[in-house]
Amino acid sequence: MQARHRKMLRPLKSAAAAVALAGAGIAAHAATAPAQIKIGTLYASTGPFAVASQGQFEGLKFWAAAVNKDGGVFVKAFGKKIPVKIVAYDDQSSTSTATTLYNQLITQDKVDVLVADFGSVLTSVAVPLAAEHHMLLIDPTGSGANFFTKKTDYLADVSIPASTVWPIPLAHFVAQQGIKRVAIVYDANDFDASQAETTKEVLAQAGIKPVYYHGVPTTESNYTILLHTIKAANPQAVLEFGYAPNDIAFLRALSQSGLHFDMTFSIFPGQLLELMKKNVGVKGLAYTYTYPTPPLVKYDKVDYGMNTADFVKAFQGAEKKAPNFLDAAGYNTGLVMQYMLDKAPKFTQEDFHSALLNDMSGKTTTLLGPFKINENGAQLGQPFPVAQMVPEGKDLKFVVVYPADHATGKPVYPAPKS
């Protein structure tokens, strides 16, 4: 009888053990959920990238405040919402300082998600560090071509197209206008040099060879002599690829020189219009071409997050100022991470990357346009059209001139002399 009783107890003990083990497993799984999702990033309070960097940072903080107000982001790996915490340091626009601080975020702060600072220069030092530590680098605006030369699980360009595709519409527009004599001046960094090279290649397909093609240091601030050299080549169009401080210096020098070109292009009026108007003036920007970016161009139909118009309204209400493109890029970066955490089945860097590449890419439109990355991490969606800034009263209006399906008007070419 006792033996029979012992036999009956065995399966009961086994069942109890199984329940206990299952309960321990659930407890262990729950214990792995962090109290906060730590998002590590850098910003620049000073130096040549400060204005753009702080805009991007403000957009990211705006997103974090919004999701935390709603209880945090839903993390599929833990089946619940978790608040986000931004851990941020000031790199002062210095790549050497940025290197130290990215390393600190990874090795000391042990952040869950790593986000690069603005632009290709400050992102360049984060790319190899992230790969070395097997961390996915969320790259808002670093679009230099050399970042995306091979397949990787540790890089995703999320809020701006890879720089190699930026100028394709611009080059096609130039050719379409029948312009044969083109001058190109660019900063000798990967972001700007890759745009210059793409432009030259696309123009070559149309039988156009630049009459002037010259790189300058990213620190260049004096364009006076260079402008006279360009004028001697007698171009019909001058395309200047630089960062905001370069664009300001170039356009101010052009305005003050008394020189005139039938077409002038620079990058950052379409991203930081108020900064450009403050430093160059409406008159100095008149009839200049640029890449118009959200919120200057709007996406009404989105699959995730606010559309462009709703974002502008919400940001202005919260921050008491109108957002620029970098604010929108920072907010969009937050949206991408939110989607990633919502879809990744495990809380690992590889699963984060897979969620972006396989679940989001090619299937989602945000306030910046279609989101599409390739296996190398390059952003191929979110294309930029070409626009011209045309005087309207005492201000400027943006007229999208290319491609035709986005056009809101025709170009004023050649540009009138002031």
Q: How many CB atoms lie within 10 A of CB 182?
A: 25
Which residues does 75 contact at the CB level (< 8 Å), separation at least 6?
33, 37, 81, 82, 341, 342, 347
Which residues does 365 contact at the CB level (< 8 Å), separation at least 6?
299, 301, 302, 303, 304, 371
Could you tell me the pLDDT band of residue 32, with boundaries at 50, 70 and 90?
Answer: confident
Number of helices (H), then strands (E), belonging to the chain: the values are: 14, 16
Summarize the confidence of residues 312-317 as an average pLDDT: 98
- Maximum Cα–Cα distance across the chain: 112
Please answer whether residues 52 and 118 qualify as being in contact, where contact means their C-beta atoms are separated by less than 8 angstroms: yes
What would the pLDDT profile of 42-72 be if each residue is shown by its tens digit? 999 999 999 999 999 999 999 999 999 999 9
| pLDDT value of position 380 | 93
Cα separation, 57 vs 213, in Å, equals 35
Could you tell me the pLDDT band of residue 260, with boundaries at 50, 70 and 90?
Answer: very high
Summarize the confidence of residues 371-392 as an average pLDDT: 95
DSSP 8-state secondary structure symbol assigned to residue 6? H
The CATH number of the structural domain formed by 168-290+385-402 is: 3.40.50.2300
Could you tell me the pLDDT band of residue 295, with boundaries at 50, 70 and 90?
Answer: very high
Is the pLDDT at 18 greater than 80, yes or no?
A: no
Could you tell me the pLDDT band of residue 383, with boundaries at 50, 70 and 90?
Answer: confident
Domains 37-162+297-371 and 168-290+385-402 equal at CATH topology level: yes
Cα separation, 153 vs 160, in Å, equals 19
| pLDDT value of position 382 | 87
The verdict on domain 37-162+297-371 having CATH code 3.40.50.2300 is: yes
What would the pLDDT profile of 131-178 be if each residue is shown by its tens digit? 999 999 999 999 999 999 999 999 999 999 999 999 999 999 999 999
User: Per the structure block, which two tokens stand in for 88?
Assistant: 């941020």
What would the pLDDT profile of 330-380 be if each residue is shown by its tens digit? 999 999 999 999 999 999 999 999 999 999 999 999 999 999 999 999 999
Domain regions of the chain by residue span: 37-162+297-371, 168-290+385-402
**Strand 289-290 to strand 386-392: parallel, antiparallel, or no bridges (unpaired)?**
antiparallel
User: Per the structure block, which two tokens stand in for 308?
Assistant: 């462009």
To the nearest whole percent, how much of the chain has pLDDT over 70? 93
Please answer whether residues 413 and 174 qualify as being in contact, where contact means their C-beta atoms are separated by less than 8 angstroms: no
Element (H, E) at 123: helix 119-124
| pLDDT value of position 30 | 45
Is the pLDDT at 5 greater than 80, yes or no?
A: no
What would the pLDDT profile of 83-106 be if each residue is shown by its tens digit? 999 999 999 999 999 999 999 999
What would the pLDDT profile of 208-252 be if each residue is shown by its tens digit? 999 999 999 999 999 999 999 999 999 999 999 999 999 999 999
| pLDDT value of position 29 | 43
List for the chain the helix, strand, coil content (%; round to 5). Answer: 45, 20, 40
